[in-house]
A and B are shown apart, each in its own frame.
Chain A
Amino acid sequence: EEWSQGKALVRPPDQMELTEAELKEDITRILTANNPHAPQNIVRYSVKERSYKPINVVDQMAVHCVLEGSLVHQDSEEARKLRFDLRYKCLFVGFPQVNPIVDGGDVEETGDEDRPDSAVSRINKKEPKVTNQFNFSNRASQTLNNPMRDRICQTEPPPRSSFSATANQWEIYDAYVQELQKQEKNKEKQKGMHSQKDNGKSKKVMLMETQSEDVTKWTMASKILERTISQNTFDDIAQDFKYFEDASDEFREQEGTLLPLWKFQYDKAKTLSVTALCWNNKYQDLFAVGLGSYNFSRQGCGMLLFYSLKNPAFPEYIYPTSSGVMCLDIHAQHSHLVAVGFYDGCVAVYSLKEEGQEPVYKSTAKTGKHTDPVWQVRWQSDDMDNNHNFYSVSSDGRVVSWTLVKNELVFTDIIRLTLSGAVSEGTEGAQGGVSSGTSFDFHKQIDYMFLVGTEEGKIHKCSKTYSSQFLETYGAHSMAVDTVKWNYFHPKVFVSCSSDWTVKIWDHTINTPMFVFDLQAAVGDVAWSPYSSTVFAAVTTDGTVHVFDLSVNKYEAICQQLVVDKKKTKLTHVEFNPIHPVIIVGDDRGYVTSFKLSPNLRKKPKAKKGHELPKGPEVEVAKMEKLLSLLREPDQNSG
């Protein structure tokens, strides 16, 4: 009943008041799908027709509510990914993060591209961001990278060295003591130095020395070089000198030959003649040549040359002299001392050790030089004060002894030669003429005895101690005696030669000569051989060398050889080398030629067993001498 009673209409207060007629009116309402709010006359610009055109079809949809959903179709790609990630993330991450996404509504795939991106990007942080191709494009390029190169360098470390020492109290003390001593010495030296005044001089000397030192280094080397070159140049001669022995001597019974070896000449000495020759005892390849002139009218300067067999091209030492050299002698022991006699009567002593060209000692008019040419000088053994001394003989008739005392030459007249024989001043009245001595020689063993040959042809035997008298006089030659020489072995025998063409052999106890040889020309010089007492050589002015061996042939020379090219050359001197079988011969053109003696000339006397060699010939000579004295005839038995 209640629902029926409810039919009474309740009128709201603001209802329109309408009449019943109006109330009964039927109003028709039509429902269409048209959106009443949609515009009905949209006009759009059409580019094609270039005008506005009304659009007939208008979108009638009205969206009232939009709800984004997150449902994903289970077969879609995304769903698979989600499922995978779900499993993956369930392990690590809690659920809340996952759920809301899974329960989400359907996702429109065509419309919004951003949302799947954001959803996915939230889930998969590890997946690379997939950028869309429209808004993003990758551009990449690579510049050229220069290739890398390694450069390394290592500097040299500074040089290192080790040092070690000990530092002790005693070491320190010792060092100080040493230092103090040194200082004291220096102080003393300085005091000494101040007193000397030749500091400047010493400096100069030092300079000179350093300069000459440089040169001297080269001189030795150049000397050796020169000698080797000489040897190469004269190689065949050197070979001959050493090894050549004349084989033909076997066929010649007695005769021998002289093989010419080197020829020594010096340019500047061309005009001079050889006036003296002497071998050096110590250096047997060195010999001295004195050059001067025998010509009375033509006297110029002279020269003293020293040659070595090792260098025949040029002299080793050259000493020019103001006056012609007439004689020279080399000291037997001190072979650097050379005594020289000059044409002007001076004597001088040269020392080969000294640098200069001047003699170490020279006699002057004050100091007793001879007034005439000095013909012979000879060294003697040192006197009691150990001073060197030598003797000289000259045309002024004096035999003088010169002693080298400190810086001077002190002379002592030994003997005066007079024509009559005795000596002291003013003894003989009428015959007080002075006889000129032309040569002398001292006995090898008996030191005080010596022989003097004179210009008159006499030979006097004198003694150093007896100045007033001659021990003996031999009337030897008719012309001046050029040379007298004692035999090296036999103490009694000596030889003399003269311009009267003869060579005579004497026994000094007998007044007459033992042997006389006529050589057909003036004999310039004669020399005994050092290896045999019976061999000697003589040179003549016709350029011939005669070699005699008395044990082989008593009458003739066993060798007579013309040795110089031109016959006009006169041979002036001859000397035997002390050890080599070589003789040197000087001539008046300034040449010195050397010869090798062939074996026949060098025959040593056959030694009887038990007999000493040097005495062998002596015995023979004695034999011959006895025979001579008995018969005064030459012995027919030849040794």
Chain B
Amino acid sequence: MAGTGEGKKEEADYKRLHSFPLIRHTDMPEEMRVETMELCVTACEKYATNNESAAKMIKESMDKKFGSSWHVVIGEGFGFEVTHEVKNLLYMFFGGSLAVCVWKCS
């Protein structure tokens, strides 16, 4: 029992430690990157239980700010291959288990 208790604690620990937003791959310019990252973090925190709404929020804000045809995928386990406009891709991790991929392609 102690083992599992410890295990849970560790899990919680690492989730806590690993919950900062970590950019895995991006080719966005600095400003855009920061803004997008913050937007993603806000959205994910707001709609922590509903990935679809979070994605919707991100996509609409990106469309307004940076031009049309953004695509957003949020999830915990997926693979993808996308074609994106150069300098308009952000792939990041957040919250220890969420992966967010945002790209523009009209």
Contact = CB atoms under 8 A, between A and B. Distances in A.
Interface string A151-174: 000000011111111111101110
A163 B75 CA distance: 17
A180 interface: yes
Contact of B97 (A165, A172, A177, A180): A172
Contacts of A161: 83-84, 86
Given A158-B85, A164-B79, A167-B75, 12 more contacts: A159-B86, A162-B82, A163-B82, A163-B83, A164-B82, A166-B78, A167-B101, A168-B77, A171-B99, A172-B93, A173-B14, A176-B18
A175 B77 contact: no
Interface string B10-46: 0000100110001011000000000000000000000
Given A158-B85, A179-B22, A167 B96 contact: no
A164 B96 contact: no
B48 interface: no
B86 A160 contact: yes
B99 A172 contact: yes
A160 B25 contact: no
Contacts of B86: 158-161
Contacts of B80: 164-167
B70 interface: no
Interface of B: 14, 17-18, 22, 24-25, 75-86, 89, 91, 93, 96-99, 101, 103, 105-106
A169 B15 CA distance: 11
Contact of A165 (B17, B18, B75, B91): B91
Contacts of B89: 163
Closest 5 CB pairs of A and B: A167-B99, A164-B81, A176-B18, A166-B79, A159-B86
A360 to B, nearest CB: 49
Query: Chain A interface secondary structure, helix, strand, loop or mixed?
Result: mixed
Contacts of B24: 165, 175
Nearest to A161: B86
A160 B83 contact: yes
Residue of A163, A171, A180 most packed against chain B (CB within 10 A): A163
Contacts of A166: 78-80
Contacts of A167: 75-80, 93, 99, 101
Contacts of B17: 176, 180
Given A172-B99, A175-B24, A176-B18, A165 B85 contact: no
Given A160-B105, A179-B22, A169 B83 contact: no
Contacts of B106: 158
A398 B89 CA distance: 79
Chain A interface size, as a band, is 20 to 34
A160 B87 CA distance: 9
A164 B101 CA distance: 10
A163 B91 contact: yes
Contacts of B81: 162-164
Contacts of B14: 173, 176
A159 B85 contact: yes
15 contacts: A159-B85, A159-B86, A164-B79, A164-B81, A164-B82, A167-B75, A167-B93, A169-B76, A171-B99, A172-B93, A172-B96, A172-B97, A176-B17, A176-B22, A176-B93
A267 to B, nearest CB: 58
Contacts of A159: 85-86
Contacts of A173: 14, 18, 96
Nearest to A183: B20
Contacts of A171: 99
B26 to A, nearest CB: 10
A166 B25 CA distance: 12
Residue of A164, A167, A171, A176 most packed against chain B (CB within 10 A): A167
Contact of A162 (B79, B84, B98): B84
B25 A165 contact: yes
Contact of B96 (A160, A163, A176): A176
Nearest to B89: A163
A59 to B, nearest CB: 91
A427 B98 CA distance: 94
Given A160-B105, A168-B77, A180-B17, A175 B93 contact: yes
Contacts of B103: 163
Contacts of A158: 85-86, 106
A163 B18 contact: no
A539 B25 CA distance: 76
A490 B76 CA distance: 85
A165 B79 contact: yes
Contacts of B77: 167-169
Contacts of B78: 166-167
Nearest to A177: B18
